[in-house]
Amino acid sequence: MSQGPTEGNRGTDRVFELKEEVQQLKEAVVSHAVVDQAIGMMVALGRVTPDQGWTVLREVSQHTNIKLRRVAELVVLWGREGEIPSEIRIKLEDALDRHGPTQVPGAPR
């Protein structure tokens, strides 16, 4: 029994939808990894918790009107190349000052 034109179109449409969904999921996995790496940098450099690192990145994104994923990409690139746009650096410093420890662990009081 063969499929009519409408049934065949539905199948083709569904395959297209599934391919789009797979592509979106792949992009989400990559984006999540970049954000996790940037959070790790905030933890290491800013001596904050992972939750605070997430908050720092989110605030920088909001205050610069740059998508969070792009902020994370710039932070990771900064870790590799040592350069970051001054606008991002200033907002990172401000956010880390607000969320970071008031004193470096192990430093004399």
Tokens of 90: 């200033």
Q: What is the pLDDT of residues 9-61, one digit of tens each?
A: 777 888 878 778 777 766 766 668 999 999 999 999 899 999 999 999 999 99
Question: For residues 75 and 38, is the Cβ–Cβ distance under 8 A?
Answer: yes
In the chain, DSSP assigns E strands to: none
Give the 3-state secondary structure of residue 103.
Answer: coil
Residue 8: pLDDT band with limits 50, 70, 90: low
Q: Which CA distances in Å does 31 have to 14, 40, 80, 97?
A: 26, 14, 18, 26
Residue 97: pLDDT band with limits 50, 70, 90: very high
pLDDT of the residue at 65:
97
Tokens of 38: 């940037």
Tokens of 103: 């004193």
Q: Which helix (H) or strand (E) holds 61?
A: helix 50-64
pLDDT of the residue at 92:
93
Flag whether the pTM goes above 0.95: no
